[in-house]
Amino acid sequence: MNNHKRNEFRQLLRKYRDEKLTEEEITLLYDYIRQDQFADVMDEWLDETFNNPAYAGAAVDYDPELVFAGMREHMNTPKRALRWWKAAAAAAAILVFALLGYISYRPSPVAEKEVVFDVPPGRQGATLTLSGGRKILLDSASDGLLANQGTASLRKTGYQLNYQSDNKLPVDTPVFNTVSTPRGRQFKLVLADGTQVWLNAGSEIRFPTAFSGKERKIELTGEAYFEVAGNAAVPFVVQLRDSRVVVLGTHFNITDYDDEKNTNTTLLKGAVKIQTKDNEVLVKPGLQVTIDKNTGAFSSKAVDTEQVIAWTKDKLVLGNTDFAVMMRSISRWYDIDLVYAGKVPELRVGGCLHRNVNLSVVLGFLEENGVHYTMSGKTVTILP
Amino acid sequence: MHNDSLHTERELLLLIAEGDQHAFRQLFEIYWKQVFGACLQLTKSPELAKDLSQDIFLKIWNTRNRLTDVRSFKSYLFTIARNTVRDQLRTTVFRESNREFLEHYFSGKAISPQQVLEQKQLSDRLMRAINSLPPKLHQVFMLSHLEGLSHKEIAERLEISPLSSKTYMVRALLILRRELVSEPDRLLIIGLIYLSNIFSFFF
């Protein structure tokens, strides 16, 4: 019986794909899809479709060049993946400084360290994308009602975005909004269920403007700190690229940047569960769980949680992590490019600064800790 | 020869893993047609197929550090494609809101081009509605109506897929019907009867 049904579903999918379905069979196909059985049949069908070269022939609708151009602005280009001309320019800059130093008999380190342009710190700001695709720059938007989205209204108050949902209205189809911070910006928002989210620089969160159904699910890339409003009946789920964090009401911080090899989840209060395709682990308060994105391996350690979320309190903690991770975090906040002229130094620095200082203060601090660097424009080169 | 091309793809992947956009561009060109063509067949919507294909390739790029470990790029690509499209089929394509479109798309009322040509007279209001169709839809509609071309012929003329021609045609008819059905008008009704048959083009 089951076999018969599987077969029928498979045949319907194939007929749909190959333009052979009849109007009447649509109802049948819809029924199978609604029942959500036979996921494997659907997957096999998708696989055989992608693997069949016959379908490539008719693909003439779009000019591939334009399609590729359309992807460009969404292609993450982490600054550590150096373009050769940038590396060459940096090398040339170092050479020029070195030559100047040599010619004028000045000790070259002094010339190297001269900061030509200072870089101001990051500030509050983000871009909001409404469900229709309209974008609102939150840096400059005035306070008050920004828009109505689905059953929710959204207001900006200072550097905070609030979603309020009319609970009496049914949520038919969830409406999704996206808030993204570029490098050099951070922002705070309050979701429709009262959950507070601090979004760090270079991050993005996508969420429904009102929650419905069995879970409160949002998507995140980058770093965010959450204080989830308690609702044990409807778990809050943070979907990351390869894993998900399931919570019932708690305080935790997540880092999942595309240019970092690890995903870190740090729990301050409550309990969360982290799931990947083949693994699941329960996290206790005070612990940070790390997933190696390449291998999928879990590890956990006790951390100073206040340091982990210091960024939400306008503090810049230096030395909490290894050198390269720390520098990438600085580069995201000041929107600078980083170059290593040699190997990445194996240094551990320790300290805490206000996030509101210019880059020169941070670099000065690092220098006191034995970091050598040069700077040209917005590129900082770390010397061995 | 076979080994050569494998070697080249492996090199491409390593370059991409290091952030080389030119290498990524080459890879994109190799697989674009296969990915888009399958997505088109699966969604019956050229725009959705394009967006999905872009999503698929963006996922490859944005997790490019994994490419160093990839043994068979093709199966890696198609796994990402499968997961991306599966979600979209559930949330967009096989939804009640898309059902009317699919019903018309798969409606099999056959009609010969001759019959279409015989009924060339259309009311003024219908003409105005046709003229305000979005450009692609308008082009497809006019080619089939005025010249009696099949989807295959329209596709060749406009450099689009036959499937897209059919999709645009069904959309055009649904728009016209929606716009005109509220006006009870004899001529219109005749026009609509004609319309309900016109999209039966085979391809």
Contact yes or no for B62/A72 (Cβ under 8 A): no
**19-38 in chain B: CB under 8 A from chain A:** 19, 21, 24-25, 28-29, 32-38
Higher pLDDT, B41 or A312: B41
Lowest-pLDDT choice from A9-23, A187-201, B74-88, B166-180: B166-180
Residue A72 confidence (pLDDT): 84
Q: Does B120 touch chain A (CB under 8 A)?
A: no
**3-32 in chain A: CB under 8 A from chain B:** 16-19, 21-23, 25-26, 29-30
**60-119 in chain A: CB under 8 A from chain B:** 60-62, 64, 67-68, 70-71, 74-78, 81-82
Residue B80 confidence (pLDDT): 94
Q: Do A26 and B54 touch (CB under 8 A)?
A: no
Contacts of A16 in chain B (CB under 8 A): 106
- The per-residue b/e assignment along A28-64, b for 16 or more CB within 10 angstroms, e otherwise, is ebbebbeeeebeebbeebbeebbeeeebbebbbbbeb
Cβ-based neighbours of A332, under 8 Å, separated by 6 or more: A122, A183, A184, A200, A201, A202, A257
Structure tokens given for A149: 């989205």
Percent of chain A with pLDDT over 90: 23
Contact yes or no for A56/B37 (Cβ under 8 A): yes
Contacts of A71 in chain B (CB under 8 A): 54, 57-58, 61
Confidence of residue B181 (pLDDT cuts 50, 70, 90): low
Percent of chain B with pLDDT over 70: 75
* B85-89 contacts, C-beta under 8 A, 24 or more apart: B85/A46, B85/B38, B85/B39, B85/B42, B85/B43, B85/B52, B86/A42, B86/A43, B86/A46, B88/B43, B88/B48, B88/B52, B89/A33, B89/A42, B89/B42, B89/B43
Q: Do B46 and A61 touch (CB under 8 A)?
A: yes
Residue A96 confidence (pLDDT): 41
Residue B2 confidence (pLDDT): 40
Confidence of residue B97 (pLDDT cuts 50, 70, 90): confident
Residue A45 confidence (pLDDT): 96
Contact yes or no for A108/A101 (Cβ under 8 A): yes
Q: Which residues of chain A have pLDDT under 70?
A: 1, 58, 77-117, 167-172, 319-320
How many helices (H) does chain A have, and how many strands (E)? 9, 24
**188-217 in chain A: CB under 8 A from chain B:** none
Q: Do A75 and B61 touch (CB under 8 A)?
A: yes
CA proximity to A294, closest of B13, B76, B61, B66: B66
Element of type H or E holding A272: strand A272-276
Which of B18, B30, B42, B69 is most worth mutating to test chain A (most A CB atoms within 10 A of its CB)?
Answer: B42
Question: Closest partner residue to B37 among A59, A67, A68, by Cβ?
Answer: A59
Q: Do B161 and A60 touch (CB under 8 A)?
A: yes
What is the C-alpha to C-alpha distance for residues A95 and B172, in angstroms, rounded to an integer? 64
Count A/B contacts: CB-CB distance under 8 Å.
Answer: 128
Question: Tokens 């967009």 correspond to what residue?
Answer: B92
Q: Do B50 and A47 touch (CB under 8 A)?
A: no
Contact yes or no for A147/A161 (Cβ under 8 A): no
Which of A60, A221, A261, A292 is most worth mutating to test chain B (most B CB atoms within 10 A of its CB)?
Answer: A60
- Residue B186: how many other CB atoms lie within 10 Å: 8
CA proximity to A353, closest of A307, A304, A303: A307
The shortest C-alpha distance from A211 to chain B (Å) reads 17
Structure tokens given for A369: 């800790």
- Check whether B20 has a pLDDT greater than 70: yes
- Residue A144: how many other CB atoms lie within 10 Å: 8
- Check whether B120 has a pLDDT greater than 70: no
ipTM of the complex: 0.82
Residue A356 confidence (pLDDT): 78
Distance of alpha carbon A11 from the chain centroid: 40
pLDDT, one tens digit per residue, over A204-250 is 999 999 888 888 999 999 999 998 888 878 889 999 988 899 887 78
What pTM value is reported for the model?
A: 0.47
Higher pLDDT, B180 or A299: A299
Residue B86 confidence (pLDDT): 92
pLDDT, one tens digit per residue, over B23-36 is 899 899 999 999 99
Residue B151 confidence (pLDDT): 87
Residue B32 confidence (pLDDT): 93
Contacts of A42 in chain B (CB under 8 A): 86, 89
